[in-house]
Structure 1
Amino acid sequence: MDKIKYRPIGMKAIRLLERRQYTFDVDVKATKTEVKRWIEGFFSVKVVGMNSHRPPKKKKRMGSVIGYPVRYKRMIVTLKVGDSIPLS
């Protein structure tokens, strides 16, 4: 559970909900099997498929210092027909 950071709620994430696909931002070192086990155990649902990608880095400026925010991996999880995860 420590590796799952949060669930982004953007336009694409909301659009994917219609297809039973849920979006999670996870630690870069988390694997698909770890995330699948955690989601199936915590939410009591059946995961049918998973896709993952790393969004591109973006520069952040803090005064005169330019750096990058913490990296993460985005997982898109597809659930079995009839299963759902509450949004709250």
Structure 2
Amino acid sequence: MNKLKSQVLTGKSIRLLGNNQYTFEVDTESTKTEIKNWIEKFFAIKVKNINSYRLPGKKRNRKSLEFSFCRKRMIVTLDKNYFIPLFLNE
């Protein structure tokens, strides 16, 4: 699946891991239902909720600073007793 790009590990996303919430960077054209169905099939888990938000990109012009949306992230909340293995200790 090319729509799910990578996992996001920031201060906020690490705090959300305690609430069983995982943050992923996704393709800008992907929808919540596409990501939910793919995560449920790939990891064999049950998704409770998905929140999405767009991160602005900056373009500097000589006279002004313009913003355009270039990245999209989704926060996936899982049901109890489910988890996604982020780090494999081998």
Structures share a fold, TM > 0.5?
Answer: yes
| Structure-1 residue corresponding to 2:19 | 19
CA deviation profile, 1:29-73 (whole Å, cap 9, x unmatched): 00000000010001111000000000121348xxxxxxx9x9221
Show structure 1 runs of 5+ residues with no match: 61-67
* Preserved contact between residue 56 and residue 71 of structure 2 (Cα < 8 Å): no
Q: Measure, in 2, the Cα distance between the counterparts of 1:20 and 1:3.
A: 22
Query: Which residues of 2 match residues 35-74 of structure 1 at below 5 A?
Result: 35-59=35-59, 71-74=70-73
Structure with higher strand content:
2
Higher normalized contact order (CA 8 Å, seq sep 6+, divided by chain length): 1
Q: Which runs of 4+ in 1 moved over 6 A?
A: none
TM-score by length of 2: 0.82
Q: Measure, in 2, the Cα distance between the counterparts of 1:58 and 1:36.
A: 29
When the two chains are superposed, the root-mean-square deviation of aligned CA atoms in Å is 1.9
Show structure 2 runs of 5+ residues with no match: 61-66
